[in-house]
Amino acid sequence: MTAAYGVRRTGTPSTTTPQTPPPSPGRHDRSLLPDATVHGAAAGLHLTITFDAGFSDMDLAAASLARGVKVQPLSWHRPCPGRPGLVLGYAASTPTVIAEAVAVIGEALRRVR
């Protein structure tokens, strides 16, 4: 099971920063989620993605959901205001579904900016 989650984790976006593990064959093009930083990719069943841009993460989550991808705005989990972000669960998704979801989130991101 751990190996399966590792494969799913490598299917999640490798966007920009040193906090992101080195690219692997399952990683996505950074252009899908520009100005994003992935947190928590080394372990767990969820990732947090934060963005440098100033927009509402609730708007991004709603736009993603309208396109069929359910994510949670990071602001729901914060005690204080901060950078916009999303919480993504990947335990029940295949690498193909994850890749498609990242593309959908990227499309939603372009709409809310």
Q: With cut-offs at 50, 70 and 90, classify the pLDDT of residue 11.
A: low
Q: Model pTM? A: 0.74
- Residue-wise pLDDT tens digits, 73-101: 999 999 999 999 999 988 888 888 888 99
* Number of independent structural domains in the chain: 1
Cα(83)–Cα(65) distance, rounded to whole angstroms? 20
CB atoms within 10 A of CB 14: 21
Q: Find out whether 87 and 105 touch, Cβ atoms under 8 Å.
A: no
Domain boundaries, position 47: 2-112
Q: Find out whether 13 and 36 touch, Cβ atoms under 8 Å.
A: yes
- Taken as a whole, the chain contains a residue count of 113
> Which is it for strands 72-73 and 85-89: parallel, antiparallel or unpaired?
antiparallel
- The domain that holds 7 is classified in CATH as 3.90.1150.10
